[in-house]
Structure 1
Amino acid sequence: MSSDVQGGLGYLVGQLSQRVRRLYEAELAPFRLNMPQYATLTYLAAAPGGLPAAEIARRLHLTPQAVSLLAARLEAAGHVTRAEPTTGRSQPLLLTEAGRDQLVAARGAIVQAEAEAFAPLGANDREALRRLLAACLAPDASGPGPGE
Structure 2
Amino acid sequence: MVGAQADPAPEPPEWVPRGPDHLPAYVLARAGTAVDDLFARHLGAVGLRPHTFVVLVHLVRAGTEPLTSAELARRLQMTPQSMGALLHGLVEAGWVERAGEVRRGQRVDVRVTPAGREALDSATPALAHLSRPETLGLTAEEAGTLHGLLQRVLTAIAADPGPGA
Report what 2:132 is aligned to: 115
Report what 1:54 is aligned to: 70
Report what 2:12 is aligned to: none
Q: In 2, distance between residues paired with 1:45 and 1:22?
A: 24
1:74-105 Cα offsets, whole Å, 9 max, x none, are 111111011359xx821121111110111011
Q: Which amino acid aligns with 1:137?
A: L
Report the TM-score, using the length of structure 2 for normalisation: 0.74
Report what 1:128 is aligned to: 145
Q: Which amino acid aligns with 1:80?
A: V
**Superposition CA RMSD, Å:** 2.6
Report the TM-score, using the length of structure 1 for normalisation: 0.82
Q: Structure 1 residue runs of 4+, over 4 Å off?
A: none
Corresponding residue SS for 2:136? coil
RCO comparison, higher one (Cα < 8 Å, 6+)? 1
| Stretches of structure 2 lacking an aligned partner (at least 5 in a row) | 1-15, 161-165
Q: In 1, distance between residues paired with 2:39 and 2:133?
A: 10
Name the structure with the higher helix share: 1
Identical columns (%): 28
The structure with the largest alpha-carbon Rg is 2
Number of aligned residue pairs: 142
Corresponding residue SS for 1:90? coil
In the alignment, structure 1 residue 96 sits paired with structure 2 residue 113? yes
| Stretches of structure 1 lacking an aligned partner (at least 5 in a row) | 144-148
